[in-house]
A and B are shown apart, each in its own frame.
Chain A
Amino acid sequence: EAEVAQSPRYKITEKSQAVAFWCDPISGHATLYWYRQILGQGPELLVQFQDESVVDDSQLPKDRFSAERLKGVDSTLKIQPAELGDSAMYLCASSLATWNTGELFFGEGSRLTVL
């Protein structure tokens, strides 16, 4: 069964360091999402791609976060410099549909701890 792949599963870093997360969506899924989930809360959308284009990055803290999906397939989310408040689970999801949003398929997430 096709899955969304994410790496690393766990990342511990010190504040002010750079971190990067990688996501490979299900083959053929044009829409890719990055969500941030703080412990005990629901996922919050950071950025949405349609193929290689950013559709929505209104909640992405652009002073320190960046995301790209250069060839419209896999994607990288970067944080530089990391702050203590960035400790969270970073979830990637993909979807076949766009305008009439269907089911999202999530990866297992990347757990970030900033010390």
Chain B
Amino acid sequence: SQQGEEDPQALSIQEGENATMNCSYKTSINNLQWYRQNSGRGLVHLILIRSNEREKHSGRLRVTLDTSKKSSSLLITASRAADTASYFCATDLGSGNTGKLIFGQGTTLQVKP
């Protein structure tokens, strides 16, 4: 079963533009993570935001978390062709959880040079 739902499912932009992806989830969480996956490869961790944090930055990445709306967004600024990949949010469920991450369906990002 999937906990997170990403929106949009697919996004196509020009190099240099910003890309925003959204994630909604259903139950309370300890933290929310974003991962990137190049075609046919494994997933790579991008950033983790804890339930008591509202915003986090890492390089060109900015993640926000709104626990009242059960949603998160990932912003990639000044996109590059190399950012072309699928992006997944993953939620670590609340107290009592055994450290299980539930992934959403992902957003496929295409950055055109």
Binding site for B on A (CB under 8 A): 4, 31, 33, 35, 41-45, 48, 50, 55-56, 59, 89, 91, 93, 95, 97-109, 111
Contact = CB atoms under 8 A, between A and B. Distances in A.
Contact of A41 (B40, B44, B90, B106): B106
Contacts of B40: 89, 109, 111
Contact of A104 (B1, B30, B45, B106): B45
Given A42-B106, A111-B40, A97 B45 contact: no
Contacts of B48: 102-103
Interface string B19-33: 000000000001101
Contact of A101 (B35, B100, B105, B106): B100
A108 B98 CA distance: 24
Nearest to A105: B45
